[in-house]
Structure 1
Amino acid sequence: MKKIIALIAAVALVLSLSACFMPNANNNSDSSSEQANAADVTSYDKDFDGLVKYITDRGSNYEKMDIYYDLLGADNGARIVLNKNAFVEVYDFSGASSATADSANASKAKDILNAVRENGKFKPIEDGAELTAAITDSGKYVLAWDASRSFDYTGKVVTDELKENW
């Protein structure tokens, strides 16, 4: 009797452990919902708020946080937390060209835009981590993320379709 109970316990243990390592059966539905959201890109306003809403609508648990965008010379900004290890920051530089040339903020904005255009990275603060970044085709918005923290998960969120439409 003890052998039968031990055998049943061992089988239950193996089944419970194997369930932890099985691929998520919902992956297909997640990707299809992402495709549905991506296909609906035309329903979003082509401004900063529309861009942020588009990104947050792509996932159910995304959290928007305000950031100190003005320190970078940006007109607006938001950090969108995708999961505990990944985020994307969205900066609005649409008014950067209208700022006065001698303004420190205009200079900072110009430096960031040039750095992103040249090597796809910039440092938001002097002693801080360098962020991977992309500029939307309009040249108005910078999308930035820490590729070392997010294991390039964020890079998959920042799609070409997103960059082309803003």
Structure 2
Amino acid sequence: MRLNNIIKFNLETRTKELKDQGKTLDEISEILSVESEQKITKSTVFRYFEAKDREAAQVIEKQDKLKARVVEAEISTIEYRMRGIEVLLNIAENGEHEHNRVKASLALKDSLDSLDSRLGKLSPTKNTQNNFFVNAPGAEPAKLRDRMKVYDAIFEEADES
């Protein structure tokens, strides 16, 4: 593809200035021809602006695709953490030995805190405070189930929008 004369003669800045002033393609081509002492046609000016518009559209499209990939990766990470939390919750509820339940509860607390920080990054409310205490061995699973319901509601809300 042939190099546009506006680019070839380094007239891009001046061309943009003239367009910003509201000049027509004919006027821009005449002014550029006089100032550069080179033949700049209306067609050259039109092709230059058309190429710039195409380039801008491609950049926007690439940015949108990149944003979509980032969001998909974030969702995938959250879903993976949710599955891990469910496994730990199951261990905490059904652990045969007390030390297994306590270890699972502590790991679950760390996982939930990690998920909270990830969701805080994605959601507008960052002043949410979650307190979790591992005091009563039989009480943790109920609190954790309630917390999981909140996360499920967040994901359902995100899926609907």
Q: Same fold (TM over 0.5)?
A: no
- TM-score, with length taken from structure 1: 0.34
Name the structure where strand makes up a greater proportion of residues: 1
Whose radius of gyration is greater, 1 or 2?
2
- TM-score, with length taken from structure 2: 0.35
Name the structure where helix makes up a greater proportion of residues: 2
Higher relative contact order by CA 8 Å / sep ≥ 6: 1 or 2?
1
